[in-house]
Structure 1
Amino acid sequence: MIDDDTANKGSKLDNGWDQSAAAWIADLQRGGGARDYVLDAPMLARLRGRGFERAVDVGCGEGRFCRMMQVLGIATVGIDPTLALLDQARTLDPQGDYRHGVAERLAFDDGAFDLVVSYLTLLDIADIDAAIPEMVRVLRPGGTLLIANMTSFYTAGPPEGWTNDHDGTPRFVIDDYMDDRADWVGWRGVHIQNHHRPLSRYMSLLLAQGLILRHFDEPQPHDGDADYRQRYRRVPYFLLMEWQKPG
């Protein structure tokens, strides 16, 4: 494996994550969010019984999904550019393998993993044109790239998003759907930059790598109160894709 740790030092990104790390950790500890209610179950369902041996979680944050994959017997490496999140990952999982790095320059040999995971990280990555080929490069032939991302319909909404019309009925407003852009979003002390891209941008980049789409879903909540579930049915928040690298 290439030792590229020093190459990533000093790659501080002005996207809000360094300042928001503590609030992000607190929010995850509170629980009851989209990961718990929507995404964990279908993501794990794509992994169980598949025989995956070695995975890299690109944008692992505080290591939450790495720990879940380890329960399934998958050896994991977590990569993240935010040092405070990596510190928390190492605290919660002292035997885990968590490394400072960025998706655009993954410090691994070609074909090092049979599973690459991007769990709500594509919208955080500025240079997606570099990141997706890197994820594919470190995937072995026949391996799987598993992606959960916010839908492009949803990311076309901020900063307005949900608003009320003239009679007070909540509506979700999208605009400039076809234009790539970065927007600042915030909740409960978290203030970070998310990137909107039309779905065609992601699909074109993935197809250009020669990947084969094996699964696509827009998962719905399996828990949470009625209002929470209804909002997810009105606006598609998340998508899940599984791509295979030809063998």
Structure 2
Amino acid sequence: MIYQDPLAYLLGIEGSALLDAWAGDHDQAFVEDRVAEIRRLLADGKLQNRGVLAERVAADVTYQQQAPDYDANAGGGLFAIDEPVITEWLARREVGVALDAACGTGRFARILADLGHTVIGVDGSPDMLELARERVPEGDFQLGSVDRLPLADRSVDVVVCALALVHVSDLGPVFAEFARVLRPGGALLISDVHRELTTIGSGIKGLGPDGERRLAPAFRHPLGDYLRAALAARLELRGCEEPALHWDDSPLPRPSTEIGDWPAWPWSLMAYVPEATRAVSGRPQLLLLHFAQPAS
């Protein structure tokens, strides 16, 4: 079980912002504001005794519940970050057979099909696959997992895997599978939730039949985990991006007066301390990687 306490979370956000200030990112006034806000949080009655327990369950369990609203809610904020980069990488390749691994609702399958590729989609959630089939009726969608792909050796020219490896504890078998199904000269394009974003609370939630809180696994992989797995599979690195949110100079919103309930955490908690949240939200959101299968 995972214990999540809103006061502890907010103190963590404040502490992260203060560490950035220690490194030189913020001035004295910012530091003094953070210390004063920490004192207010510690005295805030709304934050007392609000901790909850949540069970970590298989990702497919939570995605079953998230499927209908996933594009609008759970993943929507990140799509605008990864799609331009992945699409640019795809535009450099000739049309072929493309695999959308952990395809979800088929957003990259649709992009691949529009580029002219013959599309195969694999996902572990039947509910997600149904939505993908509606979005890309010309695609071939199959139930399966990224570490045991239901495809033949050297059967695809491109593999795209987006926002899925964060749920995988051991990346080695997954990259071995990607390398197995790729043809010589093929490309592997990865988009994943950056460990910095996972650390500040990004995750997939669900509720059990009796309202029990559930969380999909979220592993905070450093860049080295991906590189070691890819190099072991004899893949070659061709590109790497770690895009972050870039805030404009618009005024900060007024702090929320309510912390919300568990389904809205951590986003409702972030609204409670907008200045500290903006300070830490400029860190990388996604990790984007471009690998190539050697031509021979």
Structure-1-length-normalised TM-score: 0.73
Higher strand share: 1
Q: Distance in 1 between matches of 2:103 and 2:249?
A: 28
Q: Distance in 2 between matches of 1:43 and 1:74?
A: 15
Is the CA contact 1:216–1:240 (under 8 Å) kept in the aligned structure 2? yes
Q: Distance in 1 between matches of 2:108 and 2:234?
A: 27
Larger Rg: 2
Structure 1 partner of 2:224: 200
Displacement of 1:104: 1.1
Q: Could you say if the C-alpha distance between residues 37 and 20 of structure 1 is closer, same or farther in structure 2, counting changes exceeding 3 Å?
A: same
Displacement of 1:31: 8.9
State how 1:116-131 maps to structure 2 within 5 Å: 116-131=159-174
Structure 2 partner of 1:185: 203
Q: Distance in 2 between matches of 1:76 and 1:109?
A: 15
1:88-145 deviations in Å (ceiling 9; x for gaps): 2123333321100011111222111110111111112244221110111100111111
Is the CA contact 1:103–1:125 (under 8 Å) kept in the aligned structure 2? no
Displacement of 1:222: 8.2
Q: Could you say if the C-alpha distance between residues 186 and 83 of structure 1 is closer, same or farther in structure 2, counting changes exceeding 3 Å?
A: closer
Structure 2 partner of 1:214: 238
Q: Distance in 2 between matches of 1:31 and 1:84?
A: 15
Amino acid in the other structure paired with 1:70:
A
Displacement of 1:185: 3.3
Structure 2 partner of 1:83: 126
1:53 aligns with 2:93: no
Structure 1 gap segments, 5+ residues each: 1-12, 163-183
1:140 aligns with 2:158: no
Q: What secondary structure is seen at the aligned counterpart in 1 of 2:174?
A: helix
1:23 aligns with 2:82: no
1:244 aligns with 2:288: no
Displacement of 1:236: 0.9
Q: Could you say if the C-alpha distance between residues 140 and 223 of structure 1 is closer, same or farther in structure 2, counting changes exceeding 3 Å?
A: farther
1:24-53 deviations in Å (ceiling 9; x for gaps): 431314698333321111111111142131
Is the CA contact 2:247–2:282 (under 8 Å) kept in the aligned structure 1? no
Q: Distance in 2 between matches of 1:152 and 1:98?
A: 29
Is the CA contact 2:155–2:183 (under 8 Å) kept in the aligned structure 1? yes
1:99 aligns with 2:142: yes
Shifted more, 200-209 versus 73-82: the winner is: 200-209
Higher helix share: 2
Is the CA contact 2:172–2:230 (under 8 Å) kept in the aligned structure 1? no
Structure 1 partner of 2:111: 68
Is the CA contact 1:18–1:84 (under 8 Å) kept in the aligned structure 2? no
Q: Distance in 1 between matches of 2:148 and 2:124?
A: 11
Q: What secondary structure is seen at the aligned counterpart in 2 of 1:141?
A: strand
Q: What secondary structure is seen at the aligned counterpart in 2 of 1:60?
A: coil
Displacement of 1:86: 0.8
Is the CA contact 1:37–1:223 (under 8 Å) kept in the aligned structure 2? no
Structure 2 partner of 1:173: none
Structure 2 gap segments, 5+ residues each: 1-55, 208-213, 253-273
Is the CA contact 1:37–1:221 (under 8 Å) kept in the aligned structure 2? no
Q: Supply the RMSD in Å over aligned alpha carbons.
A: 3.1
Q: How many residues align?
A: 210
Q: Distance in 1 between matches of 2:225 and 2:97?
A: 28
Structure 1 partner of 2:44: none
Structure-2-length-normalised TM-score: 0.62
Q: Could you say if the C-alpha distance between residues 127 and 201 of structure 1 is closer, same or farther in structure 2, counting changes exceeding 3 Å?
A: closer
Displacement of 1:206: 0.8
Q: Distance in 2 between matches of 1:244 and 1:231?
A: 36
State how 1:224-235 maps to structure 2 within 5 Å: 234-235=282-283
1:125-183 deviations in Å (ceiling 9; x for gaps): 2442211101111001111111111223333x1xxx27xxxxxxxxxxxxxxxxxxxxx
Is the CA contact 1:121–1:149 (under 8 Å) kept in the aligned structure 2? yes
- Residue 40 of structure 1 is aligned with which of 83, 86, 96? 83
